[in-house]
Amino acid sequence: MNELTLQAFEHFVGRFGTEVDTRLREARTAEDVEAIRVEYLGRANGKLTDYQKQIPTFSGEERKLAGQQFNAVKKLIEGRLAETLTELSRVTRLSVPDVDLTMPSRSQFRGAEHPVTVVIEEIVEIFREIGFTVATGPEAETEWYNFTALNFPPDHPAMDMHDTMYLAEDVVLRTHTSPVQIRSLQAGPPPIRVVIPGNVYRLDPFDASHAPMFAQIEGLAVDEGISFVDLKATLTHFATRFFGATRTRFRPSYFPFTEPSAEMDVECRLCKGSGCPACKGTGWMEILGSGMVHPNVLDAAGVDSEKYTGWAFGMGPARIALQRYGIPDIRVLYDSEMRFLGQVAR
């Protein structure tokens, strides 16, 4: 072996420490460990032992440092060899017949978000990526916010779509999250890009498919130059992200607060569009309602409807949760049973 600089000596010797450590991880028996010991620390031709012979080639302070480095590494290797032997003997001890390793693990209680919250959060996340923030508002609203400002004609059949719970003559439990659209429009000048999750109330008897309170999430985008193309593009993007690659369809609909109004369907995932009982043979699943914000709504909120345009959408996360988990009865979502919550916890 050539004479080395102290730096090189320390480098090579130090490297054996990590090398042995790596090798020992693969050792399965005491024999493996012994072979590694001989390879590095063997009296004759041990890899580390060979370097001991280099120490005398240094002089003075360097010789002392080289010796220290050598001993430190040797001690480290010896320690790891001993530890490994102990570990291996412990494994052996565990294998004795009176420990039955087929017994169950020791678990912890887990927590989980409600399935409807999970769906809402997934939706919020997708819209966040494209510049939306989250807005909320009160659940008890005046009729003005809930209906009038949203262009509901008074005493019109359109009102029949909202069976309303009243708290006072002109105060209602909001029938949709759309009042928050008005509040967001009032709060600041466009650009407005918000998603609005929240609970809404309808005077519907509690049965397998109706609940008097349920979650809704809607979105609103208002700025100069926003159009029906933006509505289609953004909601198609959402459908692609949320439901995976799938076809969408937009068809005419009616909401007092949007015009043109459109319902968005995605291809039925059960039948891939060929028609099945789940989609009533149409091949499509209804996902959300949407439309261009009606100029009367912008005007009611004090936004110039000639200058600004916008679009909005709304959907029911509970329905998505029911579909996703195959739950046949919506009341399951309200029962608050540990058995159910544990079942759907992620």
Partner 1 sequence: MNASYEWLREFTDFDLTPEQLRDVITSRAATVEEVISLRADLRDVVVGLVVEARPHPNSDHLWVTKVDAGMGELLDVVCGAPNVQAGSKYPFAPSGSTLPGGLKLERRKIRGETSNGMLCSARELALGTEHDGILTLHTDAAPGTPFLDAFPAGDTRFVVDVLPNRPDLLSHEGLAREISAYTGNDLHMPEHPGMSAAPAFEHGTSDGSTGGVRVSIDEPSACPLYTATVIRGVRIEQSPEWLANRLISIGLRPINNVVDATNYMLHGFGQPMHAFDLDRLRGPEIHVRNARPGERITTLDGVERKLDPTMTVIADADRAQAIAGVIGGSESAVSDATSNILLEVAVFDPRSVRSTRRALGTSTDASYRFERALDAHASAELARYAAALIISLAGGRVDGAPIAVGSPGPSPHQLSLRVSRVAKILGEHVSAPECMRLLGSVGFGVNSGENEMLRVTPPRWRSDVALEVDLIEEVARLRGYDSFSDQLRPFRVGSAPDSPAYVVTRRVTRALVEAGMMEVRPIPFVADAGEHGVRVLNPLAESEALLRTSALQTLARRVEHNFAHMTRNVRLFEVGVVFSRGPDDRIPVERTVTAAVISGDRSPAHFTDPRPAQMDIWDAKWIAETIVRSAFGQSGQSGPELQPNAARDGWDVVHDGSTIGTVGPIPVDAPVWAPPVFGIEIDLTAAFGIVPEPVVYRPLPVTPAAEFDLALLVPADVVAADVARVIRTNSGEMLESLVPFDEFRGAGVGDGYRSIAWRLTFRHPERTLRDKEIEGRRARILRALNEELGVRPRTT
Look at residues 140, 127, 195 and name the one whose alpha carbon lies nearest to residue 170.
140
Quick check: 268 binds Zn ion (CB under 5 A)?
yes
Residue 217 and residue 196 in contact, taking contact as beta carbons nearer than 8 Å: yes
Quick check: 279 binds Zn ion (CB under 5 A)?
yes
Six token digits for residue 325: 């988990």
Quick check: 108 binds partner 1 (CB under 8 A)?
yes
Quick check: 336 binds partner 1 (CB under 8 A)?
yes
Site for partner 1 in 268-297 (CB under 8 A): 280-282, 292, 294-295
Site for partner 1 in 49-68 (CB under 8 A): none
Between 81 and 120, how does the x/- string for binding to Zn ion read (CB under 5 A)? ----------------------------------------
Quick check: 38 binds partner 1 (CB under 8 A)?
no
CA-to-CA distance for 17 and 7, rounded, in angstroms? 16
Look at residues 309, 224, 314 and name the one whose alpha carbon lies nearest to residue 263.
314
Gyration radius from the chain CA atoms: 35
Q: Nearer Cβ to partner 1, position 57 or 236?
A: 236
Q: Nearer Cβ to partner 1, position 90 or 210?
A: 210
- Given the structure tokens 């399951």, which residue do they identify? 332
Quick check: 270 binds Zn ion (CB under 5 A)?
yes
Quick check: 191 binds partner 1 (CB under 8 A)?
yes
Q: Nearer Cβ to partner 1, position 90 or 280?
A: 280
CA-to-CA distance for 311 and 109, rounded, in angstroms? 44
Q: Which does 276 bind (CB under 5 to 8 A by kind): partner 1, Zn ion, none?
A: Zn ion
- Member of 70, 132, 147, 313 binding partner 1 (CB under 8 A): 132
CB of 9 to partner 1, least distance (A): 30
Cα–Cα distance list, 155 to 111, 175, 182, 203 (Å):
47, 16, 21, 17
CB of 194 to Zn ion, least distance (A): 33
Quick check: 187 binds partner 1 (CB under 8 A)?
yes
DSSP β-ladder status, 133-134 and 192-201:
parallel
Quick check: 104 binds partner 1 (CB under 8 A)?
yes
- Member of 271, 327, 341, 344 binding Zn ion (CB under 5 A): 271
Dihedral sign, CA of 303, 304, 305, 307?
negative
Name every residue whose Cβ is closer than 8 Å to that of residue 78 and which is 6 or more positions away in sequence.
41
Look at residues 279, 259, 281 and name the one whose alpha carbon lies nearest to residue 158.
259
Interface positions with Zn ion (CB under 5 A) = 268, 270-271, 276, 278-279
